[in-house]
């Protein structure tokens, strides 16, 4: 017994189906554009910024950098300053944000997320420049 062979038509599809498919694609692209514009996640530019903190435990390359709970960048490198033994965290920050030079940073963890670098903006009118630095160098300890 031979299996039936399906008949394949070379004839074009229904015009109505084509129009509906095109409309669905246009609506999907419009929705994605709206989301990117409203949430700010579509921003592609960034600048490097060094952050000094006393203890960077829990941070890894790729950790989020957040301001007010919103992701504004990511950690690109971690190192130790041999002079004052502070942790130096290299980050990339969205270039539409200018952080005051007296901003502070800390590591924040929760039970539902990985540790991230939390930035608390300062009040200085001077802004940190690209390749600049925020945070404080720890004071000298005297024994």
State yes or no: pLDDT of 29 exceeds 80.
Answer: yes
The structure tokens 């060094």 sit at 50
Question: Cα torsion at 129, 118, 55, 115 (round to 10°)?
Answer: -130
pLDDT at 9: 62
Chain segment 100-117, per-residue pLDDT in tens? 999 999 999 878 878 999
Chain segment 46-103, per-residue pLDDT in tens? 899 999 999 999 999 999 999 988 889 999 999 998 888 889 999 999 888 889 999 9
This prediction's pTM: 0.67
Chain segment 123-135, per-residue pLDDT in tens? 999 998 989 899 8
Same domain membership, residue 88 and residue 32: no
- Banded pLDDT at 143 (limits 50, 70, 90): very low
Token couple for 37: 């514009």
User: Domain of 52?
Assistant: 46-135
Order of strands, sheet of 70-80, starting from the edge strand that comes earlier in the sequence: 104-110, 113-120, 64-67, 70-80, 87-94, 46-53, 132-135
Same domain membership, residue 103 and residue 52: yes
Same domain membership, residue 50 and residue 24: no
pLDDT at 23: 95
Q: Is residue 75 part of a domain?
A: yes
What's the structural domain count of the chain?
2
Q: Is residue 108 part of a domain?
A: yes
Chain segment 3-18, per-residue pLDDT in tens? 777 776 656 667 888 8
Give the C-alpha distances (Å, rounded to integers) separating 108 from 12, 57, 75, 88, 89. 58, 10, 14, 16, 14
Cβ 79 vs Cβ 90: under 8 Å: yes
């Amino acid at each position: 017994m031979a299996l039936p062979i399906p008949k394949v038509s070379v004839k074009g599809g229904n015009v109505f189906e084509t129009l509906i498919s095109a409309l669905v694609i246009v609506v999907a692209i419009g929705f994605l554009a709206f989301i990117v514009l409203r949430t700010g996640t579509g921003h592609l530019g960034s600048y490097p910024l060094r952050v000094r903190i006393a203890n960077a435990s829990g941070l890894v390359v790729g950790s989020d950098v957040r301001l007010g709970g919103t992701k504004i960048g990511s950690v690109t490198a971690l190192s130790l300053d041999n002079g004052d033994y502070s942790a130096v965290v290299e980050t990339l920050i969205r270039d539409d944000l200018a952080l005051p030079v007296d901003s502070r940073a800390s590591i924040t963890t929760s039970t539902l997320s990985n540790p991230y670098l939390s930035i608390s903006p300062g009040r200085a009118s001077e802004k940190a420049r690209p390749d600049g630095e925020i945070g404080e160098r720890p004071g000298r300890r005297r024994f």
